[in-house]
Structure 1
């Protein structure tokens, strides 16, 4: 990982304060200055028609002093230009960029207040957001964050459906303090269709383009406090991720392809050289070049360019059973190797074209049996920047006996088939994987059973159950933020195994709290792994307590 840098800001000179007559004057008091760290700029496209649009720019002053002199500089996306501007003075061209200053009659931005001006512009069907925007020489989004103070990877999955189902928005990454503690966000998920190509749709079973880039995000949910314009080509989660990266320029955002529900067509897509080339080029065009299909007035060529920095492969699973609707072939193992190579080659070609490095990662399974049936690790690892290894779902409510879902070490009291993080990671190391390329996955949710007898230890562990425990979104699973609020339960833990569980005499939840997260992260660092991955960030509470525990352990 490269060192993360905090950009310096420059103070803005305050207006000169007139002194009282010398004989009556008290000792001079310096006027409060307006630091550029207190200045931000928001933009919203307020209207769009044919080839024209209206934009509204707001300069915000969070300092305790009035701002009388300011200079705003920005560029527009290709094909865009300012036609006329009011309540400010503009100079420049679309080719050279624009410089905006107060109008000749002045425009004070009051302490704790804002100043608004607008303009009409010309577009060619694409985005109109401000590029390379600076106010008095500083980033319009505010002082960019350097991100974590450690070099280890902290990867969080952000779920497409979390906004609607869990009321968890991109802005919550900032409000909870989580964004400061992340090096990577994997956006889950992108789908691959029966034709073997990445695609977008609003079919509820196959995609949610509305959530991705069609929904008009209101000001209250927006990263910078500015709402999406209803005619913008890029709205929704994608536009919020774009704004997030303005504040966190070191943050790497990847699109994760597949997942449990959308790995159905991977085997077909990876089957031949022609099908692999077609799949990869379609995914590169859609997400990295940003060529979104126009759906409900959103999208267009290049609309999402610059948002995604890489591809995360989440084929569950090559060569072994996953979702019952999946196609599985014995040759998936070799075809996955070829697919990874095709991704690496096309990402490198795009990198040469754009001057950027595009990352390639993969979500990898727990269990050596899946490794041997689906992966040629010695062949694929050189093409990956890193891999994330599933460190959870070792046990769950598909079984009728309570157990740990994410134990670090084998439990000697486990009466069944023993699985652990140690045995899983050892399987990768035995097959020659560099531990620094392994990122350990941890769960921000728990698995639960009900109808559980106390057992000889009185804690419900390793006991038969009548069924899954009721959950808010699905029976048998529950977010940590909900589990931490349960009453009437006793907390049990095994510090050697890095596990915790809740039991009230009837219902049993295996889960990870702050202590368990510290233990798991410390174990990963002690064993030379590259970092920690979270499934999924919307399971944390509003204060980001789980990611805070991980970050503290990574930084030791």
Structure 2
């Protein structure tokens, strides 16, 4: 389990300077009814984020636009989303993205970017700005020198364990209010544009008091005094804390691709009753590039940014019942998960990195101190700071800041063979420990920066040989909050003989070639220094099958030769529980001690877990004092969430 460590705060001189100076805003002059507002976002040790917002108060849509700006010496744009950008001679030219971005009449359009700065830099706001060739200011800024009135009536609405929603009364201005900024400790914690008089501040710590105030700004950059403050306490964290020995963590993997052929949406996690039973959702998967950085793509084999944050969901598909809009800054699974967290405040969402296919570059990324620092920094920036890249075909991007509550590492496998394309080295064992420590160090720094806690977990192998080859277990567990242990895929149709894929205990007469059981796997971790309370046992929401199987001496098809893999709807030899439970013409068999169940019809054999097997597994995990149950993957359950309900009831003692 992660042990508390004291870490000196990083020097943040630039952040302090920005907090003391007003943020830059300038009105557009290309059309009298169009305004461009620039606002500063988060700042960290090597960079910052910013946003240009085009506000169209005219009666017709602004079909095309070009913004040109320059930055002070020592600063540069490193990435931009929701627009195309080109740089020449220090001038940045911003144009609509390939999918088009008309600014609707009476609407707005946001363009975000990440910037970098060099040592000694004290300002990052644009030095010059034009829209369609005319000064963004539309003339001398001195023409409008009056600040808006201070907003009144600041009040708190909904609170969760890590967010607060605030609202206030509209301010007034002689020309017009362009937006509002929510302040916390003198720094901008959230901002709005246009007439919106509410905002949600995320990334907060549970059961903690925060004091906020709000100021208004106009298009010329004049800012009001802050209105009267309000103090708000976030809700207690009722879902993601340390459950202690014999704990009840309930972890479920949500697969990026499940929204397609399996038609399993984030909404289904809610309507099935599963969300209220989970403590964690692990989103599978994030990819790591050949140069050792977290990255996103929108092409087969590399990534599906469209599913992650580009796809629009209709009202009937959305968690909150509202349809996504074309200009919504964040869509896709990420936005749906955000809505799920708002509905279930105790739920934590972790981004899982790697997986069977995307572990191929992790050995290279973990090889040196420099490569480890580069990988972790990129992952923290993309997922925890929420700085998503612009990707053609993915649609709107926005920011995922505040969505993810931590990182789940799914390296398959350090120092051992996994997918045929994966690289592995003997030194992966030590490098994995160093990589985990680098993640923990950077998460600690981020916690100190924003006062929010982040979890670090990992999916770990079942094979005792892989455990010995790849993990310095005692050292690793000092930096993890918990780990999930593979409790399935012990056998499958890659072998010729039928067998159990998730048995708890050793099976007499197991023909191999390798013999596995969860009992032996868990003991291997404990023998190497793991606390049972930090081990979360994995269970499968799918089964594995063979065909051409003779009955054998017991008439149940177990441990018999086969002619090959059984037919599955998505791949041979595998099918979801929701399909297997409704098969006809099969006889159900059990080994109650091993928590194993299987179906056999005289020719085809399926090893799978049903609610009875799940309750048997949970009872065993509780007897061992394990830290909970993990399910791969949620899309295998039925519409009623029967498997998760069985897990939940057994953990609660029902």
TM-score over 0.5 for the pair: yes
Aligned to 2:260: 164
Choose from 475, 480, 486 the match for 2:577.
Answer: 480
| Cα offset, 1:52, TM superposition | 8.4
Is 1:461 aligned to 2:461, yes or no? no
Choose from 381, 392, 404 the match for 2:477.
Answer: 381
Aligned to 2:283: 187
Aligned to 1:226: 322
Aligned to 2:628: 531
Partner of 1:505: helix, strand, or coil?
coil
The within-5 A match list for 1:102-121 is 121=193
Structure 2 Cα separation of the partners of residues 310 and 507 of structure 1: 42
Q: Call closer, same or farther: CA 1:442–1:398 in 2, change over 3 Å.
A: same
What CA RMSD, in Å, does the superposition of the two structures yield over aligned residues?
Answer: 3.3
2:556 touches 2:589 (CA, 8 Å); kept in 1?
Answer: yes
| Cα offset, 1:375, TM superposition | 0.9
Choose from 476, 497, 502 the match for 1:401.
Answer: 497
Q: Call closer, same or farther: CA 1:130–1:503 in 2, change over 3 Å.
A: farther
CA deviation string 1:176-228 (max 9, x = no partner): 00001000000000000001000011011110000000001111110001111
Structure 2 Cα separation of the partners of residues 468 and 84 of structure 1: 68
Aligned to 1:445: 542
| Cα offset, 1:439, TM superposition | 0.1
| Cα offset, 1:73, TM superposition | 5.7
Of 369-378 and 149-158, more deviation after overlay is shown by: 149-158
CA deviation string 1:412-471 (max 9, x = no partner): 132333210001111011111000000000000000000000000000000000000000
Aligned to 1:489: 586
1:74 touches 1:132 (CA, 8 Å); kept in 2?
Answer: no
Partner of 2:494: helix, strand, or coil?
coil
Is 1:178 aligned to 2:267, yes or no? no
Is 1:350 aligned to 2:446, yes or no? yes
Structure 2 Cα separation of the partners of residues 227 and 236 of structure 1: 11
Choose from 313, 323, 330 the match for 2:426.
Answer: 330
Structure 1 Cα separation of the partners of residues 500 and 642 of structure 2: 22
Structure 1 Cα separation of the partners of residues 422 and 182 of structure 2: 52
Q: Which segments of structure 1 move beyond 3 Å, counting only runs of 4 or more? A: 47-55, 71-78, 80-85, 120-123, 127-130, 143-151, 296-300
Structure 1 Cα separation of the partners of residues 451 and 354 of structure 2: 28
1:81 touches 1:93 (CA, 8 Å); kept in 2?
Answer: no
Aligned to 2:180: 94
Which consecutive residues of structure 2, in runs of 5 or more, have no partner in the other structure?
Answer: 2-54, 56-60, 62-100, 109-154, 184-191, 203-234
Q: Call closer, same or farther: CA 1:407–1:540 in 2, change over 3 Å.
A: same
Aligned to 2:352: 256
1:447 touches 1:510 (CA, 8 Å); kept in 2?
Answer: yes
CA deviation string 1:340-397 (max 9, x = no partner): 0000000110111111111000000001110111111111110000000000000001
Structure 2 Cα separation of the partners of residues 373 and 399 of structure 1: 23
Structure 1 Cα separation of the partners of residues 197 and 427 of structure 2: 47
1:156 touches 1:182 (CA, 8 Å); kept in 2?
Answer: yes
Structure 2 Cα separation of the partners of residues 428 and 52 of structure 1: 61
Q: How many residues align?
A: 457
Partner of 1:497: helix, strand, or coil?
coil
Partner of 2:593: helix, strand, or coil?
coil
Which consecutive residues of structure 1, in runs of 5 or more, have no partner in the other structure?
Answer: 2-44, 56-70, 86-90, 98-119, 134-142
Is 1:507 aligned to 2:604, yes or no? yes
CA deviation string 1:87-118 (max 9, x = no partner): xxxx9972369xxxxxxxxxxxxxxxxxxxxx
Choose from 295, 299, 304 the match for 2:391.
Answer: 295
1:386 touches 1:438 (CA, 8 Å); kept in 2?
Answer: yes
1:145 touches 1:248 (CA, 8 Å); kept in 2?
Answer: no
Is 1:360 aligned to 2:456, yes or no? yes
Is 1:428 aligned to 2:492, yes or no? no
1:148 touches 1:181 (CA, 8 Å); kept in 2?
Answer: no
Structure 1 Cα separation of the partners of residues 321 and 648 of structure 2: 27
Choose from 131, 142, 152 the match for 2:248.
Answer: 152
Aligned to 1:131: 200
Partner of 1:292: helix, strand, or coil?
coil
Structure 1 Cα separation of the partners of residues 158 and 106 of structure 2: 17
The within-5 A match list for 1:246-325 is 246-296=342-392, 298=395, 303-325=399-421
1:53 touches 1:121 (CA, 8 Å); kept in 2?
Answer: no
Structure 1 Cα separation of the partners of residues 272 and 158 of structure 2: 30
Structure 1 Cα separation of the partners of residues 362 and 554 of structure 2: 46
Partner of 1:291: helix, strand, or coil?
coil
| Cα offset, 1:83, TM superposition | 9.3
| Cα offset, 1:250, TM superposition | 1.1
| Cα offset, 1:121, TM superposition | 4.8
Q: Call closer, same or farther: CA 1:239–1:490 in 2, change over 3 Å.
A: same
| Cα offset, 1:247, TM superposition | 1.0
Structure 1 Cα separation of the partners of residues 307 and 170 of structure 2: 32
| Cα offset, 1:229, TM superposition | 1.2
Q: Call closer, same or farther: CA 1:454–1:82 in 2, change over 3 Å.
A: farther
Q: Call closer, same or farther: CA 1:144–1:539 in 2, change over 3 Å.
A: farther
Structure 2 Cα separation of the partners of residues 196 and 411 of structure 1: 42
Q: Call closer, same or farther: CA 1:456–1:525 in 2, change over 3 Å.
A: same
Aligned to 1:235: 331
